[in-house]
Amino acid sequence: MTYRAGWIHYTNVAPILDSLVLPPDVTAITGVPTEMNDALLSRRVDIANISAVEFIRHAAVLEALPDFSVAVLGPVYSVNLFHTRPLAALERVALTSQSAMSVALLEVLLRGQGLSPVLERAEGTAEELLAAGFDGVLRIGDSALREWYGVVGPLTPETTMTSLPHTARGITVTDLAEAWFERTGHPFVFAVWAYHRDNPPPAALIQAMREARREGIGHLAEVAARHARKLGLPERVVQHYLWNFRYHLEAPDRLGLAEFAQLSVPGHAPLRFGPRPGAAAASR
C-alpha cells in the first residue's frame, strides 16, 4: 500500500526535504501548516511535519518521530509580530490563517503578560494590514522572513543578523521564539513529524529522511544560496536563518515542547515518540 506524506515546504525545512529521495510506494504532497495539520488529522496523508500544538492537542492518537523537529533556541526570524504600538497597548492583532503553532504561541505569550487584544484572522502583508488599521500583525514562514528583513535590514559588512534592530520605520518586530526564550530559557519547537499511532511510517522513509538531512546540513551553503535566490534575500541572511534551526528534537527541545504543552493544552495526553534511532538494535 502507498504511504502518503504531507510536507510543509517552507525554506526552514529545505535542509531536510530538498534532497529527500522518497522510497518506492511513498508519495508526497505539500501545503501550508494548517493544510497539512488537517490532512494528517483527517487521514488524507499518513505522516506530516505539523504544527507542534496540533500534535499536543491530538496526543491521544498521534505519535512523532523521535529525532526530527523544526526548533530554535532564541530568535527564529520567520515567526514575527509586526506592531506599531508597545505590546501592552495592542488592541487589534491580525493572525495569518496559515499557522496554528504561532497563533498558540502568541496567545501563551500575551496571556503570560495579562494582555488580551482582539485577535482576528486576516490576510495580507504586515505593512498592508498595519495600514488597514491593525496595530499588530502575526506573520510566519518565508514571507515573514522577507518582511522582517524588509523592515530591519539591510545587513552591512559590519552588522550581523543578531545585531539588526528590532524597530525601524515606526514598526517593531517581536520575534516570538526569542520572546519564548526570554520567558523560559528553552528552545521552541514549531513542528514535529507526526503520524497516527496505528500507522507508523515505513523504516525506509525514516532512513531516507535521515540521509536527506545529513546531505542538507552538509551542504548548507548551497541550500542557502539556492533559496536566497528564490526568496530574493542575501545569501548571508538565508545561511544564518538555516543554520540556526535545531532539526533533531534533542533533550532541550523536548523540554521546551513539554513546557509549551503544559501552558497551551493543560491536561493533554502524554506526548509519544517513536523508537529512537538504533533503539531496536540496542535492545536485541
Cβ 136 vs Cβ 82: under 8 Å? yes
Piece of 98-106, 113-121, 249-257, 268-276 that binds ligand ISJ (CB under 6 A): 98-106
Look at the alpha carbons of 93, 97, 103, 106 in this order and tell me if their dihedral is positive or negative: negative
- Count Cβ atoms below 10 Å from residue 96 Cβ, excluding itself: 22
3-state secondary structure of 192: strand
Under the binding rule (CB under 6 A), the answer on residue 75 touching ligand ISJ is no
Quick check: helix, strand or coil at residue 23?
coil
**CA 124 – CA 127 distance, rounded (Å):** 8
Q: Is 102 in the site for ligand ISJ (CB under 6 A)?
A: yes
Looking at residue 234, its amino acid is P
Among positions 15, 141, 256, 274, the unique one binding ligand ISJ when judged by CB under 6 A: 141
Nearest-approach distance from CB 142 to ligand ISJ, in angstroms: 7
Look up residue 280 and give its three cell numbers: 531496536
- B/e letters for 122-146, b = 16+ CB within 10 Å, e = fewer, are beebbeebbeeebbbbbbbbbbbbb
**Applying CB under 6 A, does 94 fall inside the site for ligand ISJ?**
no
The residue from 7, 10, 195, 260 that contacts ligand ISJ (CB under 6 A) is 10
Which residues have a Cβ under 8 Å from the Cβ of 182 and sit 6 or more positions away?
none
**Residue of 65, 69, 99, 137 that binds ligand ISJ (CB under 6 A):** 99
CA–CA distance, 253 with 27 (Å, rounded to integer): 29
Torsion of CA 53, 55, 60, 62, to 10 degrees: 170
In the bound complex, what is the minimum distance in angstroms from residue 245's beta carbon to ligand ISJ? Answer: 8
Q: CB under 6 A: which stretch of 137-145, 206-214, 233-241, 263-271 binds ligand ISJ?
A: 137-145
Q: C-beta of 281: minimal distance to ligand ISJ in Å? A: 30
Mask of contacts with ligand ISJ, 33-72, x by CB under 6 A? x-----------------x------------------x--
Residue 239 found at the interface with ligand ISJ (CB under 6 A): no
Site stretch for ligand ISJ (CB under 6 A), options 5-13, 110-118, 194-202, 221-229? 5-13
Q: Report the nearest approach of ligand ISJ to the CB of residue 105 (Å).
A: 8
Residues making up the chain, counted from first to last: 284
- Using CB under 6 A, list all residues that contact ligand ISJ: 8, 10, 12, 33, 51, 70, 76, 78-79, 99-102, 140-141, 144, 190-191
